[in-house]
Structure 1
Amino acid sequence: MIEQLSWKVGGQQGEGVESTDRIFSTALNRLGYYLYGYRHFSSRIKGGHTNNKIRISTKPMRAISDDLDILVAFDQETIDLNAHELRKGGVVVADAKFNPVLPEGIDARLFPVPITAIAEELGTALFKNMAASGASWALLGLPLEVFNKAVEEEFGRKGPAVVEKNLEAVKRAADFVIELAGGPLEDFKLAEADGKQKLFIIGNDAIGLGAIAAGCRFMPAYPITPASEIMEYLIKRLPKFGGTVIQTEDEIAAVTMAIGANYGGVRALTASAGPGLSLMMEAIGLAGMTETPVVIVDTQRGGPSTGLPTKQEQSDLNALVYGTHGEIPKIVIAPSTVEECFYDTIEAFNLAEKFQCPVIIMTDLQLSLGKQSSELLDYNKIVIDRGNLVTDVPALEDGKLFKRYEFTENGISPRVLPGEKGGLHHVTGVEHDETGRPSESPINRQKMMDKRLSKLKNLKLANAIVADAPHDNADLLIIGMGSTGGTIDEARARLEKDGITSNHATVRLIHPFPAEEVAAQIAKAKKVVVVENNATGQLADQIKLHVGHDKIVSMLKYDGTPFLPSEIHNYCKGLK
């Protein structure tokens, strides 16, 4: 028996690749396996090659596999583009309709199955998705009743007739491939999973769930890949909690609506990607000047401009840290797992209200859209902190205004919601005095700037970085952010076998930068490798700026694909 296996399905976009993967992985999740998925898709509605890859394991992991065990192909292009990933003795389950052929030099077993023919015999080619996934399920020798249950739940809303035909497609394809192969493949038989219940979600859904748990009740947003799933998640669920989602005309409207809602006391967020964040920058400055809390999600993708809207990149860091004109306090946090996406979203709302400033949650496409297993979330960890929100304003003399922007020792002024008795004050985007009245006084200007910028001096996050540092004098410290953490850990395990010791740090607080924590980790290593999906080493530059070490080398990848464990392993091994 084997402990893990990788499976991929590919075809033309709009052909049902997504549903094929969804049923297959849902059934595996029901059995208790750990899963990690990656979607390769085009930036169009229909047409163009697309594939979904799932890694299946009896143990937790958070990385795409280097190779491939089973490829399910709806067309020859899928075989031509993906066969190079197949390990020796791998398997291709292909639709017999296109007379599949393995490329020269590929050592794999080809099983042509009449996937389309089976579907058409049952009334429509739409059933071919279930025939394809059912055939590969059968080869693994897994219990068919679990798979059938997932099919029933997927298509139950369409009525019993549709369910029965999908189940029949599964059975016919499974029977055919088992006869063709002579039974389930013994060398692909997975060891039994732990059977524990797990979540299987994408980062965007975890962010949406986290927003609800944080008390968010309003989301204005404009659709954009790869952020749209947050809006789609909340459209379905936020009304059940008395909230609403509005699709705005653009990202400028979205962020200003979110700022207005937060000013009114309603926790709100918006979500976008790099192009949308560019449009939001002036309004983010407004939130900083008016000290209005707001939470914004940036799901990074390939840029600049339209760039690669459906591909992986981590190139917005500089924009998020430096993008606004003028100087304002802001917080940028970067979750690295789906669990962190949930908990960090709750923390983002707390930080925004505690420090009365914009908080940006920085994810990347792989974390946002890559579906992965997660332990069940602990709702007992949820804490709501609304900061210095005054609900009982002391009586003021006639004509006096509330000092909304009062100079305080920690830089955080008392905040009131509109309508609070005694809380009348001005709100304006120009420089202002303690009551919000416009002021161009040089003395006031300097005091206000110092007040706003001093707020974050008191920001301390217990998990600003996550470090795994077993060695006091490691050969390497590998630093990453976002979705790279699991890949780095897998590469480190291989380095240990090569006799190369390594520590790992994932930076989760991007701004203000956790210099002391990072410096402590750098001091424990001979050389530092910073792994990031961009062309200019933006995270490495932050480390150099705030820590100032000459040990740093950058490992950069900006071709639109995530890092593989073998790539990090080989690069780091070459540094020895």
Structure 2
Amino acid sequence: MINQLSWKVGGQQGEGIESTGEIFSIALNRLGYYLYGYRHFSSRIKGGHTNNKIRVSTAQTRSISDDLDILVAFDQETIDVNYKELHGGGIIIADAKFNPVRPEDAKAAMYAVPFTEIAADLGTSLMKNMVAVGASSAVLELDINVFSEVVGEIFGRKGEQIVQKNMDAIKAGYEYMIEKLGDKVGAMKLEKADGKKRLFMIGNDAIALGALAGGCRFMAAYPITPASEIMEYLIKKLPALGGTVIQTEDEIAAATMAIGANYGGIRALTASAGPGLSLKMEAIGLSGITETPLVIVDTQRGGPSTGLPTKQEQSDLMAMIYGTHGEIPKIVMAPSTVEEAFYDTAEAFNLAEEYQCPVIVLSDLQLSLGKQTVEPLDYSKVEIRRGKLVTGELPALENGEYFKRYEVTEDGISPRVLPGTANGIFHVTGVEHDETGKPSESAGNRKAQMDKRMRKIEQISFKNPVYKNAPHEEADLLIIGFISTRGVIEEAMARLEADGIKVNHTHIRLIHPFPADEIHPFVDAAKNVVVIENNATGQLANIIKMNVGNVKKIKSILKYDGNPFLPHEIHSQCKELVENGYIQRVPQ
């Protein structure tokens, strides 16, 4: 028996590749296994190679594996592109329809299974993916009844006959593969899982759910990969809570509508990817100068311009901190797990209202679209804090005075009222203004208002701004990362420790304002520091150098070919750094 397995299915987009992975992984999740999945797909609606790699384990896992145990291929391209990941004991299960060819240097065995033919004999070739699920189950010696509930949920609306036909297809694939395997049946049988019920979700779903829990009742957005699932989730859920989603004509409208809703007292957000955030920048500045709360989600992808819309990258960091013209206070958060994506998004609405500024939740494609097992969420941890929102009746003002919405205060945060509050009238404009909101170009007023706004970020309170896994008082190596690299760093760290290298790991969850006091001690206590990130210029490393110093000590491992890091890449290059005192980029 084995305690973990790596399985991949591939073919052309539109062939049911995604549903194959969904049915296979959901069933295993319900048995109590931990899963982590990552989809590689083309930036087109139909056609182009796509694959879904899923890691199944009896223990928590947050990264894809280096190698592959089972490759399910619906076309020859899937074999040609992915076979080198297979280890010597791995297998290829290919649809016999395309006459699969096993590459000469392939280490794995190959089995041609007539997915399409078996499915057609049962009524429709569309069920070939169910035959593939059955064949995979045979290799794992799974009881195919574990799929009954999932198949019923997915196909139940089409009638019991369709549900039964799909189960028949799974059974036929299972029986065919059992016969093919012979005495090799059970060679990849998984150890029994603990049977506990856990969630199985992508980061975007957790972000959307966190927004709901945090009191969000309005979303304005324009569809874009890899952020669209946030909008799609809230379209289904918000109406039941009295909220709504508006698909706007563009990203500019989305940001300004969200600002308008927040100004009116409704917690609102907008979400996009890099190109959309570029269009939102002026509106983010409007949020900053009017001190109107605004929550923005940036799901990073490969850039610049259209770039790599469906591939992994972490290159928006500098833009999210410094992208707006002029200077405003803002908060940039970076959750590193699906659980953190839920809690941090809920907290983002509190921070936006408490500090009356834009809050950016920074994700990336791997976190946003990677599907993984998640422990049950604790809704009691979510609280609603509205900061200096003035409720109730305000005292009457004399001599035509206005409410001091932008009052200069010691902590930089002014009292805030909602439109229609008696005696709370004030000017609101995107130009510089005095305490009542009236436009003012006075040098003294300008300095007072700028200083007031910037004082906010001096005292931002964020619980656990840095995740720490630091078992050593003095370390040979400190590894620093952000967002989705946490899981792969943890796996590489375990391998380095096995090599006798003392490793500490910190993961930065609050990017701006930067938690220098939290990071400093770990940098000082390490002989070497390496920053792991998916971009070409070492943006996070540069931010750390700006805030912490130790410039010569800090090195980078960078990957920007559109693919996420694998554990062996970080392990081998960190080991090289420690042994040789230098480090090179991951080969592209």
1: distance between equivalents of 2:384 and 2:185?
Answer: 52
Distance 1:184 1:253, change over 3 A: farther
Within a 5 Å distance, the mapping from 1:156-167 to structure 2 comes to 156-167=156-167
> What residue in structure 2 maps to residue 555 of structure 1?
557
1: distance between equivalents of 2:133 and 2:549?
Answer: 52
> What residue in structure 2 maps to residue 522 of structure 1?
523
1: distance between equivalents of 2:523 and 2:308?
Answer: 34
Is 1:540 the counterpart of 2:541 in the alignment? yes
Displacement after TM superposition at 1:462 (Å): 2.3
> What residue in structure 1 maps to residue 442 of structure 2?
441
Provide Cα deviations, 1:8-65, integer angstroms capped at 9, x if missing partner.
0000011100000000000001100000000000000111100000000000011110
Counterpart code for 1:302: G
Alpha carbons 1:115, 1:173 under 8 Å: kept: yes
Is 1:429 the counterpart of 2:430 in the alignment? yes
2: distance between equivalents of 1:133 and 1:561?
Answer: 26
Q: Any gaps of 5 or more consecutive residues in structure 2?
A: 579-588
Counterpart code for 1:567: E
Counterpart code for 1:86: L
Provide Cα deviations, 1:412-468, integer angstroms capped at 9, x if missing partner.
000000011111000000000000000111000000000000111111222111111
Provide Cα deviations, 1:112-164, integer angstroms capped at 9, x if missing partner.
11100011112221111111111101221112111122111111111112111
> What residue in structure 2 maps to residue 136 of structure 1?
136
Counterpart code for 2:234: L
Within a 5 Å distance, the mapping from 1:90-129 to structure 2 comes to 90-129=90-129
> What residue in structure 2 maps to residue 368 of structure 1?
368
Counterpart code for 2:5: L
Counterpart code for 1:77: E
1: distance between equivalents of 2:375 and 2:491?
Answer: 19
Within a 5 Å distance, the mapping from 1:47-62 to structure 2 comes to 47-62=47-62
Displacement after TM superposition at 1:185 (Å): 3.0
Alpha carbons 1:138, 1:184 under 8 Å: kept: no
2: distance between equivalents of 1:185 and 1:52?
Answer: 24
Counterpart code for 2:34: Y
Displacement after TM superposition at 1:184 (Å): 6.4
> What residue in structure 2 maps to residue 265 of structure 1?
265
Counterpart code for 1:177: M
> What residue in structure 1 maps to residue 585 of structure 2?
none
Is 1:468 the counterpart of 2:469 in the alignment? yes
Provide Cα deviations, 1:506-528, integer angstroms capped at 9, x if missing partner.
01111111111111111121110
> What residue in structure 2 maps to residue 478 of structure 1?
479
* Divergent runs of 4+, >2 A: 183-187
Within a 5 Å distance, the mapping from 1:324-403 to structure 2 comes to 324-392=324-392, 393-403=394-404
Alpha carbons 2:9, 2:51 under 8 Å: kept: yes
Displacement after TM superposition at 1:186 (Å): 2.5
Alpha carbons 1:214, 1:345 under 8 Å: kept: yes
TM-score by length of 2: 0.97
Secondary structure, counterpart of 1:182 in structure 2? helix
Counterpart code for 1:556: L
Counterpart code for 2:568: S
Secondary structure, counterpart of 1:285 in structure 2? helix
Displacement after TM superposition at 1:183 (Å): 6.1
Secondary structure, counterpart of 1:186 in structure 2? coil
Secondary structure, counterpart of 2:314 in structure 1? coil
Within a 5 Å distance, the mapping from 1:138-537 to structure 2 comes to 138-182=138-182, 185-392=185-392, 393-537=394-538
2: distance between equivalents of 1:184 and 1:330?
Answer: 59
2: distance between equivalents of 1:279 and 1:423?
Answer: 32
1:566 equivalent among 554, 565, 568: 568
Alpha carbons 2:68, 2:86 under 8 Å: kept: yes
RMSD in angstroms over aligned alpha carbons? 0.8
Secondary structure, counterpart of 1:297 in structure 2? strand
Alpha carbons 1:354, 1:387 under 8 Å: kept: yes
Counterpart code for 2:529: V
2: distance between equivalents of 1:103 and 1:309?
Answer: 31
2: distance between equivalents of 1:162 and 1:344?
Answer: 41
Bigger CA drift: 126-135 or 178-187? Answer: 178-187
1: distance between equivalents of 2:191 and 2:489?
Answer: 25
Is 1:86 the counterpart of 2:96 in the alignment? no
2: distance between equivalents of 1:208 and 1:192?
Answer: 33
Q: How many residues align?
A: 576
1: distance between equivalents of 2:45 and 2:125?
Answer: 19
1: distance between equivalents of 2:480 and 2:104?
Answer: 39
Counterpart code for 1:547: V
1: distance between equivalents of 2:508 and 2:425?
Answer: 41
Secondary structure, counterpart of 1:399 in structure 2? coil
2: distance between equivalents of 1:460 and 1:540?
Answer: 23
Secondary structure, counterpart of 1:361 in structure 2? strand
Counterpart code for 2:274: G
Alpha carbons 2:62, 2:488 under 8 Å: kept: yes
Is 1:25 the counterpart of 2:22 in the alignment? no
Counterpart code for 1:97: K
1: distance between equivalents of 2:121 and 2:6?
Answer: 31
Displacement after TM superposition at 1:475 (Å): 0.3
Counterpart code for 1:504: H
1: distance between equivalents of 2:138 and 2:233?
Answer: 33
Secondary structure, counterpart of 1:110 in structure 2? strand
Alpha carbons 1:217, 1:244 under 8 Å: kept: yes
Alpha carbons 1:217, 1:242 under 8 Å: kept: yes
Displacement after TM superposition at 1:187 (Å): 2.3
Alpha carbons 1:425, 1:436 under 8 Å: kept: yes
Q: Any gaps of 5 or more consecutive residues in structure 1?
A: none
2: distance between equivalents of 1:185 and 1:327?
Answer: 64
2: distance between equivalents of 1:573 and 1:310?
Answer: 31
Bigger CA drift: 118-127 or 213-222? Answer: 118-127
Displacement after TM superposition at 1:556 (Å): 0.3
Counterpart code for 1:205: D
Counterpart code for 2:558: L
State the identity %: 70
Alpha carbons 1:140, 1:184 under 8 Å: kept: no
1: distance between equivalents of 2:382 and 2:38?
Answer: 29
Counterpart code for 1:536: T
Secondary structure, counterpart of 2:342 in structure 1? helix
Alpha carbons 1:139, 1:183 under 8 Å: kept: no
Counterpart code for 2:303: G
Counterpart code for 1:514: P
Displacement after TM superposition at 1:398 (Å): 4.5
